[in-house]
Every structure is written in structure tokens, then in C-alpha cells.
Amino acid sequence: MSKIMFTSSQDAEAAFYEALEHANLDAMMQLWAEDDEISCVQPGGPRLIGYAAIREAWARIFKNAARLRVSISDLTVVQTPFAAVHTLIETISVVGDDTTHAPVVATNIYVRGPLGWRLLVHHASPAPPGLLAETPKILH
């Protein structure tokens, strides 16, 4: 299977959340950088290092989970010519379920290489209570 070329970190991020919403393991794994040190932390989970560990974790999630919808807010992007750091809030819900779910704080780090932009690190953690009401907009 040939890899898709992502021309921006934003394109790679959109593909990440699309793969997550559609539980598409092949699409999810095409996003990751070809680097032995890729890393993924899912909410409440351990730090996973390397392609095999990350693929196995996403396979378990996609196999056992209902279809998800992810809403993104409070996106900030810091970018250089070869790296981008996206921080954001993910609100994840189950399609067909009206239950309100707690937000998740996420950091996605992308690197640019010969195949375009790829995901190097995805770190997502449960947000502290009241986060959305208290998100400051002040630079220090």
C-alpha cells in the first residue's frame, strides 16, 4: 500500500481524526512517521513506543469501541519548516448516544519528511474538571 502525501500538518491532523471516527486502522497507521521512536499515550493508558505497539493499541480500540465522533476546540499550532506541535481539546462522544463525555487534552506532534507530514507523537489525557470554562487566553 502506498502512503498518502500530507502537504501540511493540518491535513495530517484532519486525516488522524477521520481515521479515529471511522475506526480505520490502515488509515490511522499511514499517518505515523517512519521512526522507531514514535509515541502514543491514550487517555488513561501507558506510553506506547514503536509502530507495532501503537498499531496493536489502535486495533484493540477500534475492535471494541462503538463509532466515535470527535469535536475539536481550542486548537493552537506552533510550526517550523520541519515540525509542528498542535495542542487542542478533544470532546469524544459515541454516535447515537446523547451522553456528555468529558473532554480530553491532546498534543499531536508532526514532522515533515520525504513523504510529507507525519505524526510523531499523540498524547491524550483526561481533562481536569471545569477545563472548558477556565481555558485562559493569556500569553505569559
Mean pLDDT of the chain: 89
**Structural domain contains residue 132:** no
**pLDDT tens digits, 15-52:** 999 999 999 999 999 999 998 999 999 998 999 999 99
**Structural domain contains residue 135:** no
* Residues contacting residue 125 through CB under 8 Å, at least 6 positions apart: 41, 43, 104, 105, 106
**Structural domain contains residue 107:** yes
Residue 33 is placed in which grid cell?
Answer: 512517521
Specify the number of domains making up the chain: 1
| Cα separation, 74 vs 7, whole angstroms | 23
Indicate the pLDDT class of residue 89, thresholds 50, 70 and 90. very high
Indicate the pLDDT class of residue 102, thresholds 50, 70 and 90. confident
Residue 47 is placed in which grid cell?
Answer: 506510553
Q: Which domain holds residue 106?
A: 9-127
Indicate the pLDDT class of residue 112, thresholds 50, 70 and 90. very high
The pLDDT assigned to 93 comes to 82
Phi, then psi, of 53 in degrees rounded to 5: -65, -40
Supply the CATH number for residue 86's domain.
3.10.450.50
**Structural domain contains residue 133:** no
